[in-house]
Every structure is written in structure tokens, then in C-alpha cells.
């Protein structure tokens, strides 16, 4: 634990009963009537890590968080902090604090007193030093005597974080804490929260439907879908090796093309994708026979006007025509219409080409698409190829 926190509270936590360790959920399930809001979730959040629960509205994130904090009783399953089971502990007995989207600050108290609240309630006499250290941590020492209404949204959110941290929880739960902020402030607060987490070294569990937010902040992301964990891993693992079409579409953008495995050649899987031959590394393919979905991220794909421009060994798709070209400064984002229907996956392939000064291809231009085959991933062809696409927009709207 950091100097800032241990100096604020001394070595023992508020309950004194539960010692540190990983947060572990075992087969956690919550039914509302016959509906499974959280369905058999098992996962471990390593102590001191920044963990994000990412998913669309209604997938069960908040319910999971409420079970960890003790505000909701699980229908089944167990919750551990280190070696100690906390499933049946009352909320105030758990070394867990929550920061909510609406801050829930006391409007009539100034910032200092808002942060001091938890200490005063526990009968701590000398609150000045710990509160000042907390306000320094969130860089609000100079505003200690203001009321919440006199602060910006981002500043109020930092007060909420300080007020939770001063209780010296082992785990800080953040339930869409940045949801009420505008985009620019949200980006600033993401960096700020990550800095605070690194400085205090506590376990943060952050719930969000914003995939960019999860990727920016978290060491580990669990992607939730319909009450279940779809995939868990580092942002890079999830992005480069999604296990399902849901993750491929929900986390960033993917070009997915339905095909059939033609065979395996050493460590390479050979695919017939709508009559075109693609290869991918066997270790990046979840399937080695039958129906497959080949995927590649837009920034990995390049445009060419002729075969001569394409490096040997690249995957090539022919028959494309540029349907849209948007110059956005750092890159040009293309859509390329392919000679197959949307049922085969992306009827239009997205290509993000870095701005290196190359001529921009206008709509209507016939192009070849190519990429390094090692950048291709392979998914089970029996899935809904569109799962997870468009969900984020709905949730954000
Ligand atoms: P959001 O991002 O919109 O907050 P979420 O992923 O956090 O969504 P939850 O709030 O966990 O989702 O809700 C999961 C599902 O359980 C939803 O379909 C919701 O309607 C349902 N649900 C949540 N609380 C209750 C309740 N008390 N009674 C009945 N159904 C509930």
C-alpha cells in the first residue's frame, strides 16, 4: 500500500477482519425471478490491479458489483477476498467502497468535511492530516473549503474517490464513475484515476460500457455478455485474439469474413473465404476444419492499385471498390465494397490507412486489399457474425 494511504489510516483496515488478497468470484449467479442477470461468473481480480468489467447496458455489470459490495445477495456462488469468504458479510463489514456515477456527495458539507466523513463516523479524532493527504492525492487541496456545487463534474468525481479511499478499502468499486462527464473531461479523468490507482496500489474494479475507457485504464478486462464472461484478458490480448465474434465486434472494429477451412499446412490454416484464399496462423485460429470466420482489424489492412505493390506472401482480397474515404488527419478511413453480400460478413471492409502522405483513393476506385497473414485471426464459423456490433452506440446514446 502507498505511503499516502497507510499514513492516512495506519496498517489495519476499517473492519480489521479481512486481510488483503485477490478478489475471487466463484460461480456467482443472480436471478431476478426466472431471469439470470448474472450467470455463473467465476473470475479472479489480482490484488492491486485495475480491473474493468466491460459490457453493454443490461449485461449484469452493476449487479455483479452490487454483490461484491454486499448490496445484493447472490442466488448462488461465493465471493472471497484473499482467503476470507465475504459472501454473507454485511456491506459495512466488507473492506470495499463504491464510487457511483452521481458522486453522492453531501451538498451542505464542504469538500474537506465530505472527505472527512468516513473518519468522523468511525470516531477518528485527528482527521486533518489524513484528509489533507487525501485531497493532495486527488489534487484538490486548494478547494478544501468549497461546497460540491462550486466544483466541476470532474472535481466532484475526484472528491468522491478521495472520500471512498479514506476508508482504506482493499477494493474500490467504480460504477460508471465517469458516465456523467463530457468526453474531454472523461478522457482526462481516465488518466487521473489510473494515476491515483497506481499511486495507492489498491484493487480497482471499474464498470463501464465504454470499450475505449476500459482499454485506456485497465490491466485486465472482463467482457460481459448476457450475464456471462465472454472473455477475460489484457486489453491487447482481447484486441488481438478475440475468442468470439461478440468480442471482435464489441471491442474495437473488426472485418469478419465467413469461409471454410480448406486444410492445414504446418502451422498455417488455409481458408476459402468467398472464393478467395486466405491463410492464418494455426495458433490464432479457434477452428481447424469446417466453417470458419476469418478476421482482421482495419489498421492491419492496406490498399493497393496493382499486384506489383503487394509484398509476397500477403493475404489478398480482389474485387473491391472504394465506397467511402474519410480523411481524419492522422489517417484515412476507407470502406471498400466487396463482391459478396453482407451475409458473408463485412460486405464493406474497413481500412484505416495511416497518413504517410500517400495519395487518397477516391470512391469508385477499384482496389486490392492485402495484409500480413499473421495479423489474421480465426473464429468458430457457427456464430452470429454480427454479434456485438452496434451495441456500444446504443448503450452510449
Ligand atoms: P447498465 O450499464 O445499464 O447499468 P448493467 O450491465 O449494469 O447495465 P445490471 O444493472 O446489472 O446491468 O442489470 C442486469 C439485468 O438485470 C438487466 O436486464 C436489469 O433489467 C435486470 N435487473 C437489475 N436489477 C433488477 C431488479 N432489482 N429486479 C429485476 N431485474 C433487475
pLDDT tens for residues 261-314?
999 988 999 999 999 999 999 999 999 999 999 999 999 999 999 999 999 999
Tell me the C-alpha distance between 397 and 394, whole Å.
Answer: 5
Other CB atoms closer than 10 Å to residue 103's CB: what's the count? Answer: 20
- Those residues whose C-beta lies under 8 Å from the C-beta of residue 205, and which sit 6 or more positions away, are 23, 45, 51, 52, 53, 65, 68, 171, 172, 173, 174
Q: Which CATH class is domain 3-237?
A: alpha beta
pLDDT tens digit sequence for 75-115 = 999 999 999 999 999 998 899 999 887 778 999 999 999 99
Q: Whose CA is nearest to atom 30 of ligand 1?
A: 32
Q: Is the pLDDT of residue 6 over 50?
A: no
Q: With H, G, I as helix, E, B as strand and everything else as coil, classify residue 85.
A: strand
Percentage of the chain lying above the pLDDT 90 cut = 71
Residue nearest to atom 17 of ligand 1 (CA): 58
Mutate to test the pocket of ligand 1, among 32, 65, 207, 229 (most ligand atoms within 8 A of CB): 32
CA of 208 to the centre of ligand 1 (A): 13
pLDDT at 178: 83
User: Between 153-165 and 183-200, two packed helices, what is the crossing angle to 10 degrees?
Assistant: 20
CATH number of 253-380: 2.40.50.140
DSSP 285: B
**Closest approach atom of ligand 1 to CA 60:** 11
Of 29, 36, 58, the one to substitute when testing ligand 1's pocket (max ligand atoms within 8 A of C-beta) is 58
List the domain boundaries for the chain.
3-237, 253-380
**Model confidence at 16, in pLDDT bands (50, 70, 90)?**
very low
Q: How many helices (H) and strands (E) does the chain have?
A: 10, 20
> What pairs with residue 84 in β-bridges?
81
Close Cβ partners of 390 (under 8 Å, ≥ 6 residues apart): none
Is any atom of ligand 1 closer than 6 Å to the C-beta of 57?
yes
- What confidence score (pLDDT) does residue 289 get? 93
Average pLDDT over residues 170-186: 86
Provide the CB-side half-sphere exposure for 116 (13 A, CA).
Answer: 17
Which band of pLDDT confidence, cut at 50, 70 and 90, is reported for residue 18? low
The two beta strands, 203-208 and 171-175, are parallel
Q: Is 224 helix (H, G, I), strand (E, B) or coil?
A: strand
| Ligand 1 pocket residue status of 227, Cβ below 6 Å | no
Q: What's the 36 CA to ligand 1 centre distance in angstroms?
A: 10
63 lines ligand 1 (CB under 6 A): yes
Sheet holding 76-81, edge to edge: 35-45, 23-32, 76-81, 84-85
- The better pLDDT of the pair 4, 257 is held by 257
Is the per-residue pLDDT at 230 higher than 70? Answer: yes
pLDDT higher than threshold 50 for residue 2: no
4, pLDDT greater than 50: no
CA 58, 64, 70, 74 torsion: positive or negative?
positive
Amino acid at each position: 500500500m502507498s505511503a499516502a494511504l497507510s499514513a492516512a489510516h495506519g496498517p489495519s483496515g476499517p473492519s480489521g477482519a479481512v486481510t488483503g488478497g485477490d478478489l475471487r468470484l466463484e460461480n456467482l449467479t443472480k436471478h431476478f425471478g426466472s431471469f439470470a442477470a448474472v450467470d455463473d461468473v467465476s473470475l479472479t481480480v489480482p490484488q492491486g490491479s485495475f480491473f474493468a468489467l466491460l459490457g453493454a447496458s443490461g449485461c449484469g455489470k452493476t449487479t455483479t458489483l452490487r454483490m461484491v459490495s454486499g448490496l445484493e445477495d447472490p442466488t448462488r456462488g461465493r465471493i472471497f477476498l484473499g482467503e476470507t469468504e465475504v459472501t454473507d458479510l454485511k456491506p459495512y463489514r466488507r473492506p470495499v467502497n463504491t464510487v457511483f456515477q452521481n458522486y453522492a456527495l453531501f451538498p451542505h458539507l464542504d469538500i474537506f468535511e465530505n472527505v472527512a466523513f468516513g473518519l468522523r463516523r468511525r470516531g477518528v479524532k485527528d482527521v486533518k492530516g489524513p484528509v489533507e493527504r487525501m485531497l493532495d492525492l486527488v489534487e484538490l487541496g486548494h478547494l478544501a473549503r468549497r461546497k460540491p456545487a462550486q466544483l466541476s463534474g470532474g472535481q466532484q468525481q475526484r472528491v468522491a474517490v478521495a472520500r471512498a479511499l479514506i476508508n482504506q478499502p482493499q477494493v474500490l468499486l467504480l460504477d460508471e464513475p465517469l458516465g456523467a462527464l463530457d468526453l474531454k473531461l472523461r478522457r482526462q479523468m481516465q488518466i487521473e484515476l489510473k494515476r491515483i490507482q497506481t499511486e495507492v496500489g489498491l484493487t480497482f474494479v471499474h464498470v463501464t460500457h465504454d470499450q475505449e475507457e476500459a482499454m485506456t485504464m485497465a490491466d485486465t478486462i472482463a467482457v460481459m455478455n448476457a450475464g456471462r464472461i465472454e472473455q477475460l484478458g489484457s486489453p491487447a490480448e482481447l484486441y488481438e485474439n478475440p475468442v468470439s465474434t461478440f468480442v471482435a465486434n464489441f471491442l474495437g472494429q473488426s472485418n469478419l469474413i465467413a469461409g471454410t477451412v480448406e486444410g492445414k499446412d504446418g502451422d498455417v490454416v488455409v481458408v476459402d473465404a468467398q472464393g478467395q484464399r486466405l491463410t492464418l496462423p494455426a495458433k490464432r485460429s479457434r477452428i481447424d476444419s469446417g466453417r470458419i470466420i476469418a478476421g482482421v482489424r482495419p489498421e492491419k489492412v492496406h490498399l493497393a492499385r496493382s499486384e506489383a505493390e503487394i509484398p509476397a506472401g500477403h493475404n489478398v482480397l480482389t474485387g473491391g471498390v472504394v465506397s467511402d474515404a474519410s480523411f481524419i488527419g492522422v489517417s484515412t478511413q476507407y470502406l471498400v465494397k466487396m463482391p459478396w453480400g453482407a451475409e458473408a460478413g463485412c460486405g464493406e471492409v474497413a481500412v484505416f490507412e495511416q497518413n504517410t502522405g500517400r495519395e487518397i483513393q477516391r470512391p469508385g476506385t477499384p482496389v486490392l486489399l492485402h495484409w500480413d497473414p499473421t495479423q489474421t485471426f480465426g473464429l468458430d464459423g457457427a456464430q452470429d457474425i454480427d454479434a456485438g456490433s452496434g451495441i456500444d452506440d446504443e448503450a452510449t446514446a
